[in-house]
């Protein structure tokens, strides 16, 4: 049976949190701004640089590569404060959450020296080139391919749902580097591709509310030098799946709609027995989810890779993000007015972008299937 251990904080961690909380309170006084919604947050390069100046991007990068060498737990504490306030974390998000740890784990010395200091400084932003028009949850079926050429690779294919490609510097691209023969998980690689490369085009795929968040990225004979291959050629699948514990269980998987609840309590009169009952159950769920998520960060620091736990937390957390909206809508009553005050605007945006919560990073249905297979396997082993 999977078990989560509650995790208290050390004095240093409490101090870090107090520092972040003070920073956030100054940057984002309630009611003076429209909060951003988690990973859907827009890019604010200046804000990212202010965070970088405080050492809060790429926190897990060790000092020898220009970082502060802090723990996954410390990163968790910084990030959750930013998300709870609805900070514009979009620009550096992927680089901070995912790219820095995978370059640390798999990157060559050259890649580490080239990219980690720039990530830490808020000078290199990454997006993820994973999904394709015909590959969503079935990621290993990607068809973007790289073929050998003098000094590197020629990349052809297209990626979709690439968040932030319009302002990022690099796209971490999963592609096929050898033709599929038998198992489709073999022969995949990850390439770091400069978004200004010749032959690369980025076109917007507008969200249903007209916002520009997603992109299509098309590669036509894009040259990628050899040293920009992350890790071993052919071990892309292993590398991508090992990112998942980082990617799946963080505070971004249950806090996306928290600012909506916060503004609801700040700007509407909320009272009565129904509000008490429903907000009470909601608070219990937040409390439990946050502590499970924190517990996973603590496990990562301990060298464990709690992949299935992370999967379950993502399923629970992202489903819960929808529940928060349902509750706020029920209690706020009446018709939605997307052009109303800040709360109205926020609720409207959250409502129409909510479907993305349980899709991105692998649909919840696929996550459940992966988790179920693990649980059944463990059970068979125990019998």
Partner 1 sequence: MTDELQLLDETVRAIFAKHFDRDTRAATGREFPRELWTVLDKSGLTALGDVESGAGLAELVVLARAVGRAGAPVPLVESAGLAAWLVTGAGLDLPPGLTTCAAAHPDDDLTVVRAGDGWTATGVLHRVPWGRDSDQVAAVATGEGTTFAVVLPIPDDLRRGTNLADEPRDTVRFDGVALAADAVAPTAVDQDALRERGAVLRAASMGGAMEAALELSLAYAGEREQFGQPISSFQAVQHHLVAIAEETMCTGMAVQLAVSASPEQTSFAVAAAKNTAGCAARIVTKRAHQVHGAIGVTDEHALPWSTTRLWAWQDEFGTTRDWAALLGRGVLADGGAGLWPRLSASAGTGEAG
> Quick check: 183 binds partner 1 (CB under 8 A)?
no
> Quick check: 315 binds partner 1 (CB under 8 A)?
yes
Among 143, 285, 322, 329, binds partner 1 (CB under 8 A): 285
The minimum distance between CB 271 and partner 1, in angstroms, equals 6
> Quick check: 4 binds partner 1 (CB under 8 A)?
yes
CA distances from 12 to 17, 18, 21, 70 (A): 9, 10, 14, 11
CB 314 within 8 A of CB 235: no
Radius of gyration of the CA atoms of the chain, in A: 21
CA distance 289 to 283: 10
User: What residues form DSSP beta bridges with 155?
Assistant: 146, 222
Binding mask 80-119 for partner 1 (x = CB under 8 A): x---x-----------------------------------
Beta strand extents in the chain (DSSP E only): 126-129, 145-149, 152-159, 170-176, 188-194, 200-206, 212-225, 229-230
Identify residues 255-284 at the interface with partner 1 (CB under 8 A): 258, 261-267, 270-271, 273, 275-284
The minimum distance between CB 259 and partner 1, in angstroms, equals 10
Among 87, 128, 316, 354, binds partner 1 (CB under 8 A): 316
Number of residues that bind partner 1 (CB under 8 A): 63
Which of these, 243, 246, 250, 249, lies nearest to 78 by C-alpha position?
A: 250
The minimum distance between CB 376 and partner 1, in angstroms, equals 5
> Quick check: 1 binds partner 1 (CB under 8 A)?
yes
Identify residues 20-39 at the interface with partner 1 (CB under 8 A): 30
State which residue, 154 or 270, has the beta carbon closest to partner 1.
Answer: 270
> Quick check: 307 binds partner 1 (CB under 8 A)?
no
Copy the structure tokens of residue 353.
């972008």
CA distances from 326 to 278, 329, 336 (A): 11, 5, 13
> Quick check: 18 binds partner 1 (CB under 8 A)?
no
Maximum Cα–Cα distance for the chain, whole Å?
Answer: 71
Would you give the DSSP letter of residue 99? I
CB 251 within 8 A of CB 78: no
> Quick check: 322 binds partner 1 (CB under 8 A)?
no
CB 135 within 8 A of CB 141: yes
State which residue, 8 or 179, has the beta carbon closest to partner 1.
Answer: 8
> Quick check: 341 binds partner 1 (CB under 8 A)?
no
Copy the structure tokens of residue 217.
């990225």
CA distance 129 to 43: 18
State which residue, 30 or 108, has the beta carbon closest to partner 1.
Answer: 30
State which residue, 167 or 286, has the beta carbon closest to partner 1.
Answer: 286
Other CB atoms within 10 Å distance of the CB of residue 181 = 8
Among 165, 292, 300, 347, binds partner 1 (CB under 8 A): 292
> Quick check: 2 binds partner 1 (CB under 8 A)?
yes
Residues at the contact surface with partner 1, assessed by CB under 8 A: 1-11, 13-14, 30, 80, 84, 258, 261-267, 270-271, 273, 275-292, 295, 298, 302, 309, 312, 315-316, 365, 368-369, 371-373, 375-376, 379-380, 383
């Amino acid at each position: 049976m999977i078990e989560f251990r509650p995790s208290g904080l050390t004095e240093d961690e409490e101090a870090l949190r107090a520092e972040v909380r003070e920073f956030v309170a100054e940057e984002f006084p309630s009611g003076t701004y429209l909060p951003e919604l988690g990973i859907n947050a827009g890019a604010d390069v200046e804000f990212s640089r202010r965070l970088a100046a405080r050492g809060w991007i790429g926190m897990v990068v060790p000092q020898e590569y220009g970082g502060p060498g802090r723990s996954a737990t410390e990163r968790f504490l910084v990030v959750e404060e930013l998300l709870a306030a609805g900070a514009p974390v979009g620009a550096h998000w992927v680089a901070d959450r995912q790219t820095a740890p995978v370059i640390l784990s798999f990157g060559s010395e050259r890649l580490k020296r080239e990219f980690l200091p720039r990530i830490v400084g808020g000078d290199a932003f990454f997006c993820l080139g994973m999904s394709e028009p015909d590959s969503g949850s079935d990621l290993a079926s990607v068809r973007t391919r790289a073929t050998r050429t003098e000094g590197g690779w020629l990349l052809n294919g297209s990626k979709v749902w690439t968040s932030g490609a319009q302002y990022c510097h690099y796209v971490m691209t999963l592609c096929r580097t050898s033709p599929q023969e038998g198992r489709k998980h073999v022969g995949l690689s990850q390439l770091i591709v400069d978004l200004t490369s010749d032959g690369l085009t980025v076109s917007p795929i507008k969200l249903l509310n007209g916002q520009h968040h997603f992109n299509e990225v098309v590669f036509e004979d894009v040259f990628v030098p050899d040293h920009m291959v992350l890790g071993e050629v052919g071990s892309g699948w292993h590398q991508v799946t090992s990112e998942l514990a980082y990617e799946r269980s963080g505070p971004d998987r249950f806090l996306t709609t928290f600012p909506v609840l916060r503004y609801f309590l700040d700007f509407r009169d909320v009272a009565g027995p129904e509000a008490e009952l429903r907000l009470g159950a909601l608070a219990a769920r937040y409390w439990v989810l946050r502590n499970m998520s924190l517990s996973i960060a603590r496990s990562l620091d301990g060298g464990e890779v709690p992949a299935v736990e992370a999967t379950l937390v993502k399923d629970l957390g992202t489903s819960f993000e929808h529940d928060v909206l349902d509750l706020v809508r029920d209690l706020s009553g009446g018709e939605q007015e997307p052009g109303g005050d800040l709360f109205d605007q926020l609720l409207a945006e959250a409502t129409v972008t909510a479907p993305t919560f349980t899709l991105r990073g692998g649909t919840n249905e696929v996550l459940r299937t992966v988790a179920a297979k693990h649980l059944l396997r463990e059970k068979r082993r125990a019998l």
